[in-house]
Amino acid sequence: MIRKMIGGVVGASVALGAASTAFAQAAMVQAPTVEQQATMVNKGDTTWMLISSVLVLMMSIPGLALFYGGLVRTKNMLSVLMQVFMIVSIAGLLWATYGYSLAFTGGSPFIGGFGKVLMAGVTSGTYAATFSNNVYIPELTYFVFQMTFAMITPALFIGAFAERVKFTPLMIFVVLWSTFVYYPIAHMVWYWAGPDFLAGQPGDWGYLYGKGALDFAGGTVVHINAGIAGLVGCILLGKRLGYGKEATPPHSLTMTMIGASLLWVGWFGFNAGSNLESNGVTAVAFVNTMLATCAAAVSWAVIEQVVHKKPSMLGAATGAVAGLVAVTPASGLGAPMTSIVLGLVVSPICFFFVSTVKSKFKYDDTLDVFGVHCIGGIVGALGTAIVASPALGGQGVFDYTVFPAAFDASTYNITNQLMIQIQAVLITLVWSGLGTAIIWFVLDKTLGMRISEEGEREGLDIADHGERAYNY
Amino acid sequence: MKFIIAIIKPFKLDEVREALSGLGVAGMTVSEVKGFGRQKGQTEIYRGAEYTTNMLPKVKIEIAASDDLAPRIIEMIQQTASTEAIGDGKIFVLDLASATRIRTGETGDTAL
């Protein structure tokens, strides 16, 4: 009797669900007007996206700042904190001035236009598309969420230049790099007309998006992009004085642990927030992020146990960050169990790069921006092709070229997707690598990117900022 | 008068201080120092970069004592600071030419 009743209830709810789906499809509006979009906004989505924006800001300050700051010597602590703090501020202003317009308006497949310069036409009454038909969020919400990504990306690469870069030229570098590297890459990967408009405006997308490259939360745009910039910059900048001769141990791994933990917490805004809505896929991205990070932290500790006989706190924190980086492009596309595999795999690869490759090729990537972010990002970008496969429990890919968006799990092909991912990785490496080299070269010849030898010995805190981190 | 300098393991400081108070030692100066002797340094590894630290942290105790108290102080430090392991430290003794209490201007044993 009870069984029958339960069956009856389930049956009724299924029928109800089907009816509401049918109703929703009948009411689906292609290319809705702004007035119609206003009725398609959900308070839950808006709230989640504003919270996510704050979480991503927390990743930069104080998360990344402390993570990096703890790893430098006492005399350079403030320089790292100040560089991150100012980059966040400058990138925010730049985003409002022209960054958002160049990244997220139509134009060419490679760069957006000037239509939204100085936030023209971006008001409380305009809306941004999500990944679902007829679901919108306020455009200002989207604007500020994406702004926090434009803030953290240039803050990431300063780790490669730490302890010897000059402050003001670095800030000018950030302005030029954002303009010529970040905005174009963000546009190429993430810009598209949206699910209600793409069918009517074929080809209105960024170059890599149009190719079908998958990057859920910024593996190419953020991590590979910043990671290769770090490598190119640190090679052009040269090694620190006494590199390989003087000991340069971290001054506070306590702060590094706090920073890594704040990054971990904030990363839920970064990855789960990248779904732009608050729904089941958001929870998938959330759980994938959690599990990949746990797996990568464990896997790094295990490697150290095997290689050095002692698992270190710095290793665990580095592993966690590597896991977060790797799961970023895959977060909303993979499945929990495949995310664990991704996390387990990324740590040994990054470990090899920061310990063996770096010392073999003798580039002074001070805080391992290349070894963790670029390499972890590449592992993630390529891994995404595998874990996104519906055959492995992944989310697969929607076809947004038709309205409403269609989904056919059987069309997903891992090999084809892997080829597309490889192209996206290579294009990002070349664009960012070349862009960084040119901008760096010009600024180095004109302003000089490196602090004086005396300033480097004294410490950047005194030399560049006239203050000390600790006055006992 | 004698001037006693003892280099000991940091965690032995409290034990030594209490034992010396029991002997009637009225004061001492303590500093955190680094150095090396027969004990080897530690190896630290940060993301694969290995640093060998030759200097180990120790505590240095300085005591000015009268000639008759000095041998007992030396013996007491030797006994309490010992763990019978390498790195327990050393005790050095110097002849002390003079001592002056700044507040009163007293000199010699009374100033100790």
Q: What whole-number distance in Å separates Cα of residue B31 and Cα of residue B33?
A: 6
Confidence check: pLDDT of A14 > 90: no
Name the closest residue on chain B to residue A357, using Cα atoms. B48
Inter-chain contact A250–B46, Cβ cutoff 8 Å?
yes
Q: Is the predicted pLDDT of residue A40 greater than 90, yes or no?
A: yes
The radius of gyration computed from the CA coordinates of chain B, to the nearest angstrom, equals 17
Preceding peptide of B10 cis, ω within 30°: no
A355: nearest CB among B44, B48, B53: B48
Check: CB of residue B5 under 8 Å from CB of residue B95. no
Do the domain assignments include residue A20? no
Distance CA A266, CA A54 (A): 8
Q: Which of A9-23, A260-274, B11-25 has the lowest mean pLDDT?
A: A9-23
Domain contains A1? no
What number is the ipTM of this complex? 0.73
Burial A318-343, CB ≥16 within 10 A → b, else e: bbbbbbbbbbbbbbbbbbeebbbbbb
- Asked if the structure places residue A452 within a domain, the reply is yes
What pLDDT, on the 0 to 100 scale, is given for residue A26? 54
Give me the domain span that covers residue A310: 38-462
Question: What pLDDT is stored for residue A458 in this prediction?
Answer: 95
Using the Cβ of B44 and the Cβ atoms of chain A, whether some distance falls under 8 Å is answered with yes
- Interchain pair B47, A359: CB under 8 A: no
Residue A438 lies in a domain: yes
pLDDT of residue A369: 97
**Which one, of A144, A137, A105, lies nearest residue A121 by Cα?**
A105
pLDDT above 60: residue A191: yes
Nearest CA in chain A to B50: A247
Q: Is the distance from CB of A403 to CB of A30 less than 8 angstroms?
A: yes
| Distance separating alpha carbons of residues B35 and B7, to the nearest angstrom | 10
φ and ψ at residue B100, rounded to 5 degrees? -135, 130
Is the residue at A259 inside a domain? yes
Q: Give chain B's domains with CATH numbers.
A: 2-111 (3.30.70.120)
Output the pLDDT for position A4.
Answer: 36
Which chain A residues are within 8 Å of B34, Cβ to Cβ?
none
pLDDT, tens digit, 9 for 90 and up, residues A439-464:
999 999 999 999 999 999 999 999 99
- Whether omega for the bond prior to residue B57 falls within 30 degrees of 0, making it cis, is no
In this structure, is residue A336 part of a structural domain? yes
Q: Is the pLDDT of residue A331 over 60?
A: yes
Tokens matching residue A5 = 């009743």
- pLDDT per position as a tens digit, A392-411: 999 999 999 999 999 999 99
Residue B47 C-alpha, separation from nearest chain A C-alpha, in angstroms: 6
Contacts B45 to A, Cβ<8 Å: 308, 310, 312
H/E element, A408: none
- Whether residue A249 and residue B51 make contact (CB cut-off 8 A), yes or no, is yes
Whether B45 and A318 lie within 8 Å, measured CB to CB: no
The pLDDT confidence band at residue A1, using thresholds 50, 70 and 90, is very low
- Model pLDDT, residue A25: 52
Question: Residues A217-266: pLDDT tens digits?
Answer: 999 999 999 999 999 999 999 999 999 888 899 999 999 999 999 999 99
* Alpha carbon distance B63, B2 (integer Å): 8
pLDDT tens digits, residue range A135-163?
A: 999 999 999 999 999 999 999 999 999 99
Closest CA to A216 of A92, A430, A395, A49: A395
pLDDT(A116) > 70: yes
Of B44, B47, B51, the CB nearest to A368: B47
pLDDT the model gives residue A176? 98
Rounded Cα–Cα distance for residues A230 and A435 (Å): 12
pLDDT at A128 over 90: yes
- Tokens representing A191 are 């810009």
Calculate how close chain B gets to A159, using CA atoms only, in Å: 14
What pLDDT band is residue A77 in, cutting at 50, 70 and 90? very high
Instruction: Show Cβ contacts of residue A397 under 8 Å, excluding neighbours closer than 6 positions.
Output: A212, A214, A388, A411, A412
pLDDT of residue A8 exceeding 60, the answer is: no
Q: Is B49 on the interface with A (CB under 8 A)?
A: yes
Q: Is residue A316 within a helix (H) or strand (E), and if so which, with residue range? A: helix A313-327
Residue A5 has pLDDT above 70, yes or no: no
Residue recorded with tokens 């600790």: A470
Number of domains in chain A: 1
Mean pLDDT rounded to a whole number for chain A:
94
pLDDT at residue A19, as a whole number: 41
Residue A363: pLDDT over 80: yes
Residue A145 sits in a domain of what CATH number? 1.10.3430.10
Cβ within 8 Å, pair A312-B51: no
Q: Map tokens 């968006």 to a residue.
A: A405
Name which of A249, A310, A354 is nearest B48 (Cβ-Cβ): A354
Residues of chain B where predicted confidence (pLDDT) is lower than 70: none
Lowest mean pLDDT among A51-55, A371-375, A433-437, B50-54: B50-54
Are A353 and A375 in contact by the 8 Å Cβ rule? The answer is yes
Residues of B in contact with A368 (CB under 8 A): 47
Residues of A in contact with B48 (CB under 8 A): 351, 354-356, 358-359
Instruction: Select the residue from A308, A365, A372 to test the B interface by mutation, using most B Cβ atoms within 10 A.
Output: A308
Looking at chain A, the whole-number percentage of residues with pLDDT higher than 90 is: 93
Strands (E), A64-217: 127-129, 136-138
Read off the pLDDT of each residue in A92-117 and give the average, rounded to a whole number. 97
Strand B42-46 to B29-35 pairing = unpaired
Interchain contact B47–A (C-beta under 8 A): yes
Residue A14 lies in a domain: no
Put simply, the answer to whether B47 touches A356 (Cβ < 8 Å) is no
Q: Is A357 on the interface with B (CB under 8 A)?
A: no
Residue A61 lies in a domain: yes
